[in-house]
Structure 1
C-alpha cells in the first residue's frame, strides 16, 4: 500500500476523521455522525467500568466516618479523609456527568460535541479517581502500618497508576506510530 493509500500526509494532521482512521490501519469509511455514534458507545462502556469503581470507593469512604475508630484519627488523617471524600465525590460527578449531558442534548444533533466533552470528563474523572484511590490507600495504610510505610506504599500505588494509565498507553501509541 502506498503512502497515499494509507492517508499518509507527510507528517501533517489528517484532513478528516476517516483519514486519521486509515493512518492507524483502520478503513472504516464512516460519516462524522457514524464515527460519533461509535465513539459514544465505546466511551459509555469505558465509563460504566469507572463509574462502578468510583461509586464503590465513595460508598466505602462515606461509611468510614461512622466507625468507632474514626474519632481516634489524628487531625492530619481526618483532613486526609476529607480530601479523599471530596476527590471521590468529584470523580463520581465527572464520571456520571456524561449521562446528564446526553439527556440535555439528546435530539439536538450534537453528538460530536458530546463525544469531545465526554472524553474530557472521563479524563478528569479518571484523574480524580486515581487521586482518591491514592489518598484512600495512604489513609488506610497510615492507620494500619504507621506513617513511614504508608507514604512508601502510596508512592508505589501512584507509580502503578502512572505506569498503567499514562506510560503504557504512550508506549503503545509510540509503538503503533513506529510500526506505521
Structure 2
C-alpha cells in the first residue's frame, strides 16, 4: 500500500513515484493559474488613485496580501525549478516529497492572500469589524475543507 493509502496491483516503486509526481503536477496546474491571476489583480490595486487615499490599515493588509500572493506563486512554481535541477538524477522520491511540502506552503500563502484580498474589498463596503468577522469565517471555512475534513477522512481509515 502506498503512502497515499491505496494500492495499485503490480505497480513498482518507480511507477508509484511517477504517478504521484503526475498527480501533483495536475494539482499545481490548477492552483498556479488562479494564484497568478490573483497576484496580477493585486499588483494593479496599488496603482489605483483611490488606493492612495486609504488608511494605514488598508496599506498594511495590502502589503501582507501581495507578499503572500508572491510567495504562493513562488512556492507553486518551485517544483518545476526543483525538477529541472534534479532531472535524471534518480531522486524522484525526494522530488515528490519536497514538491509536496512546497505545494502545501503555497496553499498556506494562498489562503493568506485570498483572505487579505477579501478583507481589502470588504473593508470598502462593510464596517471594518464586520469585514474582519466575515474574513475570519472564510478562513475557518478554508481550514475546515482544506485541513479538518481531509484529516478526519484520513483518520477514519
Q: Give TM-score, length-normalised by structure 1.
A: 0.82
- Quote the residue 1:132 is aligned against: 113
Give unpaired runs (5+ residues) of structure 2. Answer: none
Aligned residue among 14, 33, 36 for 1:33? 14
Q: Please state how far the C-alpha of 1:31 moved relative to its aligned partner.
A: 1.8
Q: How large is the RMSD of aligned CA atoms in angstroms?
A: 1.5
TM-superposition CA deviations, 1:81-134 (whole Å, max 9, x none): 011000000000000111111111111111111000100000000001011111
> Runs of 4 or more off by more than 6 Å in structure 1?
none
TM-superposition CA deviations, 1:49-85 (whole Å, max 9, x none): 1111111110110000111111111011101101100
Aligned residue among 42, 57, 62 for 1:81? 62
Q: Please state how far the C-alpha of 1:150 moved relative to its aligned partner.
A: 0.5
Pair 35,99 (structure 1): closer, same or farther in 2 beyond 3 Å: same
| Alpha-carbon distance between aligned partners in 1 of 2:132 and 2:111, rounded to the nearest angstrom | 16
| Structure 1 residue matching 2:112: 3-state secondary structure | helix
Pair 51,136 (structure 1): closer, same or farther in 2 beyond 3 Å: same
More helix as a share of residues: 2
- Quote the residue 2:95 is aligned against: 114
- Quote the residue 1:159 is aligned against: 140
- Quote the residue 1:14 is aligned against: none
| Structure 2 residue matching 1:107: 3-state secondary structure | coil
Aligned residues: 157
Q: Give TM-score, length-normalised by structure 2.
A: 0.94
| Alpha-carbon distance between aligned partners in 1 of 2:2 and 2:96, rounded to the nearest angstrom | 17
- Quote the residue 1:13 is aligned against: none
- Quote the residue 1:70 is aligned against: 51
Q: Please state how far the C-alpha of 1:24 moved relative to its aligned partner.
A: 4.0
Higher normalized contact order (CA 8 Å, seq sep 6+, divided by chain length): 2
Q: Please state how far the C-alpha of 1:26 moved relative to its aligned partner.
A: 2.3
| Alpha-carbon distance between aligned partners in 2 of 1:25 and 1:49, rounded to the nearest angstrom | 23
Q: Please state how far the C-alpha of 1:27 moved relative to its aligned partner.
A: 3.8
